[in-house]
Structure 1
């Protein structure tokens, strides 16, 4: 008879700290805690920056700038607030500053390119539909495009979008409604 295999218990995963604990740890001098915050939010923040700026390189710079600003101002973070709302707000304002600089220097409307994630060959038709949708979103005015991005692509609630964009709740709802109407019209043509 063969020897019985020793079964080792699965390794115990380190507990996942919530954002508040990571912020406290960062403020206490644990730099790796802030790295964890960056890891959690960098993709979502990048998607917002990319949709807003329409340029991958500028979006990467805006994200880096946003996290740098967040790190430097972490001691001003309000306990109990959502870190995601805070970092989105910082990033969005950074993007707005970049857009204003661009407009000042070029005087033209800015191009937009999202990160297209093409599906497998079997999903070619869906890929075409997704491309049409991306093009329709890209054609929206910036204020509508941003609200659509935060609501549908980032899954943010109206209140959080209002906070990020520093807009009244009613304005966010109106922008979202008008954006959806414009998308319906563009996609039905």
Structure 2
């Protein structure tokens, strides 16, 4: 734990800022940074990240999204692309149960290869290589499935928004 603390320490301020963008309160952001530290102890026994910084940010983003999803209403974008853009801006979105249901329905409509790749990448924080190992897909196919899946999700959400 002491070594993990030394590794984690340089990232705490950046993670705090990242979490603050999701929660908009210092208390929630601080709590989440501490939860992430505890989560790392478990996650690093399972994963061997090639790029620790990128992997850590991905784990932090996914952890924040899962915490927000448990609360309603939550601050997330209208699609997975909006979630990435949200990290760079200060504007938040309110998503209703109906919108979350639409996102889930659209995710379930994706072809299996796209749905699996997107779920592993965004929800479980796996890198392309790990997804390829788990699914048996070629790494270039994984990248394609994620890109096409994001586009298909966005299109599905836009179609269903007007319905």
- Select the structure of larger CA radius of gyration: 1
Q: What TM-score does the superposition give when structure 1 sets the normalisation length?
A: 0.41
The TM-score with structure 2 as length reference comes to 0.47
